[in-house]
Amino acid sequence: MSLEITSLNVGGIRAAMRKGMGSWLRANSPDVLCLQEVRAPAEVLDPFLPGRDNHQSVCRIKGRAGVAVSSLLPVSAVREGLPGLEPLDTHTGRWLETDLTLADGQMLTVVSAYVHSGEVGTERQEHKLAFLEAMTKRLAELKGGAGATASAKGGAENTADGSDRAERQVVVCGDFNVAHREADLKNWRGNQKNAGFLPQERAALTGWFEDLGWVDVGRQLAGEREGPYTWWSWRGKAFDNDTGWRIDYQIATPGLAAKAVDFRIDKPERYDGRWTDHAPFAVVYDLPGYQPGG
């Protein structure tokens, strides 16, 4: 048995569906789908994802951000927002934690995250760095088992089973808007002073992996090579020349990362087949996934 988790920045669910996301959904039905930049409320998203347990964090500014977790497995608890970021992260639609019940009764925590894109010298970059700092603190809690039944401040929890999160498996999926290493973007030399490849941004990810013990599942499975990229600019020949960035991640606790057995990046064959500037990033874990009728 296996569990497939896919992370995807849709760039607006309405536009993505209009351009062809529906065909991809019909061909791919991951057990868990983590979305970023949904830019729509539940009444818009849910009809696109029928028969699934859908949960969202919607941005208070209409048409901005928004993250979601759509699961074929039952969701027992939901926590919205990052602690310590109020009022900055009050309903900004960038962080959503869900506790899922696997087919064998195990618990799995899945997070959908959307880090700010940032821009050097602007308030947007200040918000991005603050978000990364708060994310570091929350990752330490999730990794260490703290806050197993506590709702994140500013958010709401549906239920709590009282189990110790230290025994749980956790994966954080999303568009982090940071290329961690030189291998993670084609033109790294020309982007060393640009948001997305700044030293302080990359240092945050290094801390997650080296200090906190989280595992970059994409890099673990892909090995030491360039890319594979998950985002390409709409402009110029970036897509055709594969001049991309690897900014979409699944980072997992070590026990869960050890169960990652395969990955897939669904990059379209042609530019005119694109329905988002990202590509779906799927990871298969050696875990009991959705079983129809189970």
Band of pLDDT at residue 90, cut at 50, 70 and 90 = low
Band of pLDDT at residue 88, cut at 50, 70 and 90 = low
Taking residues 38-53, what's their average pLDDT? 96
Amino acid letter for position 31: D
**Residues 152-180: tens digit of each pLDDT:** 333 334 434 444 444 479 999 999 999 99
C-alpha span between 105 and 84 (Å, rounded): 32
Beta bridge partner(s), residue 33? 6, 70
Whole-number percent of the chain with pLDDT over 90: 82
| Residue 124 pLDDT greater than 80, yes or no | yes
| Residue 66 pLDDT greater than 70, yes or no | yes
**Residues 274-291: tens digit of each pLDDT:** 999 999 999 999 999 988
Exposed / middle / buried, residue 173 (Cβ in 10 Å: 0-12, 13-18, 19+): buried
Active-site annotation holder among 175, 184, 216, 277: 175
- The whole-number pLDDT of residue 89 equals 53
Residue 272 annotated as catalytic: no
C-alpha span between 128 and 116 (Å, rounded): 5
| Residue 99 pLDDT greater than 60, yes or no | yes
Band of pLDDT at residue 134, cut at 50, 70 and 90 = very high
Pairing label, strands 215-216, 248-252:
antiparallel
C-alpha span between 248 and 177 (Å, rounded): 7
C-alpha span between 109 and 98 (Å, rounded): 6
Please identify which residue in the block is written with the tokens 């997070």. 111
| Residue 187 pLDDT greater than 70, yes or no | yes
Tokens of 118: 């940032």
Task: Report which of residues 158 and 101 the model is more confident about.
Answer: 101
| Residue 257 pLDDT greater than 50, yes or no | yes
| Residue 231 pLDDT greater than 80, yes or no | yes
> What is the overall mean pLDDT for the chain?
90
| Domains of the chain in sequence order | 3-285 (3.60.10.10)
- The whole-number pLDDT of residue 5 equals 98
| Residue 84 pLDDT greater than 80, yes or no | no
